Amino acid sequence: MNTPGTEHRARVWSLVGKTVFASLFIIAGVGHFAATDFFLKIMPPYLPFHLTLVLVSGVIEIVLGVLLLLPRYSRLAAWGIIALLIAVFPANVHVYQHQELFPLPSFVHLLRLPVQGVLILWAMAYARR
């Protein structure tokens, strides 16, 4: 049974979750410009135009993060984020296969792979609404 404030609290938490999620992408997108060398190291060697891809993906992350916060475009942005997460997954695999690029404990590199799945599920929550 819903109490009078339950629905309001659920909407507030939903908005907080969406804002946090969007912020992750906006901050990561800005990071493509602030720490370009970091993102260049992640690029698998078989992809062309590393710098262009890093900068374009940064712009895409920023745009999708902002659009997620706009109710009219939220579903479209969520589907875009899902597509982006799938598109960048090979870079995460590349980093796992070449852990010398970022000397961290092995489990950190391994953990990053399923985190992509969690982020996709999080985006799905906004894609369905």
To the question of pTM greater than 0.85 for the whole model, the response is yes
Stronger pLDDT, 31 or 109, i.e. the higher one: 31
pLDDT for 53 equals 96
Centre a 10 Å sphere on the Cβ of residue 44 and count the other Cβ atoms it contains: 14
Q: Which two tokens stand for residue 100?
A: 């010398």
Please determine, for residue 1, whether its predicted confidence score (pLDDT) is greater than 60: no
- Kindly report, residue by residue over 48-107, the tens digit of the pLDDT: 999 999 999 999 999 999 999 999 999 999 999 999 999 999 999 999 999 998 888 989
Whole-number Å distance between alpha carbons of 79 and 127: 6
State how far the Cα of 81 lies from the Cα of 127, in Å rounded to an integer.
Answer: 9
Instruction: Give tens-digit pLDDT for 93-113.
Output: 999 999 998 888 989 989 999
pLDDT of residue 14: 87
Please name the residue ranges forming H helices in 4-128.
6-34, 36-42, 50-68, 74-97, 106-127
List the chain domain ranges.
6-127
Across 38-46, average pLDDT = 94
Within the chain, what is the greatest distance between any pair of CA atoms?
Answer: 56
How many angstroms separate the CA atoms of 105 and 93, rounded?
15
**Helix 50-68 and helix 74-97, axial crossing angle in degrees, nearest 10:** 140
Across the range 17-40, mean pLDDT stands at 97
Place of tokens 């706009």: 70
